[in-house]
Amino acid sequence: MSHESTPQPEGPLAGYLVVDLSRALAGPHAGMMLADLGARVIKIENPGTGDDTRGWGPPFVGPDDDPQATYFFSCNRNKESIALDLKSDDGRTILRELLERADVVIENFRPGVLDRLGFSAADMHAINPALVILSITGFGHDGPESRRSGYDQILQGEAGLMSLTGSGPDDPQRVGVPIADLLSGMYGAFGTLAALLERERTGQGQIVRTSLLAALVGVHAFQGTRATVAGEVPQAQGNHHPSIAPYGLFHCRGGSVQISVGSEKLWRTFAITFGIDADRPEFSSNAERVQNRDQVIEEVERVFANYEAEPLLALLNEAGIPAGKVRTLDEVYAWDQVHSQGLVIDVDHQVLGNVTLPGPPLRFFSTADTAETTLKAHTAPPLLNQNGDQVRQWLGLLPTDDDGGTSESADADERGR
């Protein structure tokens, strides 16, 4: 074993074992968050096909005889992969061995599927009473619509998010990323950490449940209280804030910028900077500006028409007005500020070699000397069954074959979201 002069951080969850039975995005995203924090995450996949996202493309990259889906890369860094047929004796035996050692298991099967495989929550807690089980579904685990299949865009519509997004009430739009999946994974990871913390006091595991529906309702924020408290029905209104003005995207000469004038002090500074009469009756308070939004937009774009985007952003910044541009993703990943925050990482992939990935969004620092303790050693998303033999050897079991099982795999369509 080599000894470095400066020990490398292992992450706050070093020593924890997570068994990831989930597929697609919600559960795998939760598992990746835990892996980013240093947990050992072993991903269980169907033999032959693996996680559905291995086939979601284009884009695919790599050799024609072994194409790699970039979608899979987005939610499986820092994990190991073993292919198990959970309908076979071998697959069930290995899963039981893993559950005995695990701290967390993540699953997004439809309600009842794990029960039929012999791994209900009660079964898993009989194997390991300290196990924390994270279970994610589409519409919730109970209630009249619990057995509906839940996919991200379906839930964006059903949970009201699309009614708030778009150029207007007649133009509902999905968010440009699978936000229901991502948020349910984030809520799931958050709940898992809370359950692990409680386990420190009680010694007992528990079940953490969330859903795509719950995650989206959970982020309705002020739009939700507009509905429940004020009795309003919020609607999409494009790139302008429903309760603050001016706040949104505004056109200038040959382009556009975004501004956020979120206080009366900022409004007066903004008005002075651009020669606008801040005390006009229709502009005299935020409530008046919201009521007269079209006039505000017209006035702001009138003065912005004298500027191109970069000089305008410089002027706004000098005046202390929060402002920014709309970047494309290639611009984002080339941005030095993104790199400074560790949001771009390089990993070594077995097929592709060096690969650049989006990085983890959390950083950690020592309170003693403010030295960064963030986990820096990242691994590429695994090939299917890349770690199968290693996991079996770690468990003390002889491998049955090179693929981790050859009998028919559990029906992928039975898995929920």
**Sign of dihedral through CA atoms 112, 114, 119, 122?**
negative
Q: Are residues 115 and 166 in the same domain?
A: yes
Peptide bond preceding 59: is omega within 30 degrees of 0, i.e. cis?
Answer: yes
- Provide the token pair at 144: 């009249």
Say how far residue 202 (Cα) sits from the centre of its chain.
30
Residue 136 within any structural domain of the chain: yes
Q: Could you tell me what percent of the chain has a pLDDT over 70?
A: 93
Q: Which alpha helices (H) appear in 40-120, and where do they start and end?
A: 70-73, 89-101, 113-116
The answer to whether residue 243 sits within a structural domain is no
Whether 181 and 48 share a structural domain: yes
Instruction: Tell me the pLDDT tens digit for each residue of 362-389.
Output: 999 999 888 999 988 999 999 999 999 9
Catalytic positions are 181
User: Is 119 part of a structural domain of the chain?
Assistant: yes
Does 291 reside within a domain? yes
Contact 391, 359 (CB under 8 A): no
Let me know if residue 236 belongs to a domain. no
Cα separation, 262 vs 275, in Å, equals 19
5 — pLDDT class (breaks 50, 70, 90) = very low
pLDDT value, residue 112: 84
Q: At what angle do helices 89-101 and 388-395 cross, to 10 degrees?
A: 70
Is pLDDT at 1 greater than 80 in this prediction? no
Q: Taking 80 as the threshold, does the pLDDT of residue 34 lie above it? A: yes
Q: What's the CATH number where 382 sits?
A: 3.40.50.10540
183-225 pLDDT per residue, tens: 999 999 999 999 999 999 999 999 999 999 999 999 999 999 9
Is 252 part of a structural domain of the chain? no
| One domain for residues 375 and 282 | no
Q: What is the per-residue pLDDT for 302?
A: 96
Give a yes or no: residue 229 inside a domain. Answer: no
Residues 131 and 274 reside in one and the same domain = no
Residues 131 and 51 in one domain: yes
For residues 355 and 306, state if they share a domain: no
- One domain for residues 64 and 137: yes
Calpha distance 75→182 (Å, rounded): 10
pLDDT at 106: 98
On the question of pLDDT at 404 being above 80, the answer is no
- Determine which of 87-91, 111-115, 120-124, 195-199 has the lowest per-residue pLDDT on average: 111-115
Looking at the structure, tell me whether residues 308 and 348 fall in a common domain: no
Of 288, 321, 354, the last residue of a domain is 321
Which contiguous run of DSSP H or E holds residue 222? helix 221-228
Q: Are the C-beta atoms of residues 39 and 16 closer than 8 Å to each other? A: yes
Say how many domains are in the chain.
2
Q: Summarize pLDDT for 77-104 with one digit per residue, the tens.
A: 999 999 999 999 999 999 999 999 999 9
Do 39 and 168 have their domain in common? yes
Q: Are residues 78 and 195 in the same domain?
A: yes
pLDDT at 340: 96
The pair of three-digit structure tokens given for residue 4, joined into one six-digit string: 């470095």
More confident call, 123 vs 399: 123
pLDDT, tens digit, 9 for 90 and up, residues 131-163? 999 999 999 999 999 989 889 999 999 999 999
387-395 long-range Cβ contacts below 8 angstroms, 24+ apart: 387/42, 387/80, 387/81, 387/82, 388/81, 388/82, 388/83, 390/80, 391/42, 391/80, 391/82, 391/94, 391/98, 392/82, 392/94, 395/94, 395/97, 395/98
Residue 9: band (very low, low, confident or very high) from pLDDT cuts 50, 70, 90: low
For position 4, what pLDDT does the model report? 40
295, 387: one domain? no
pLDDT value at 174 more than 60? yes
pLDDT at residue 3 greater than cutoff 50: no
Sign of CA dihedral 371, 377, 381, 387: negative
Tens digits of residue pLDDT in 265-300: 999 999 999 999 999 999 999 999 999 999 999 999
The overall average pLDDT reported for the chain is 92
pLDDT 10s digits, 214-260: 999 999 999 999 999 999 999 999 999 999 999 999 999 999 999 99
pLDDT score of 398: 59
198: containing domain: 17-219+342-414
Residue 117 sits in the same domain as residue 150: yes
Average pLDDT of span 29-36: 97
Residue 227 lies in a domain: no
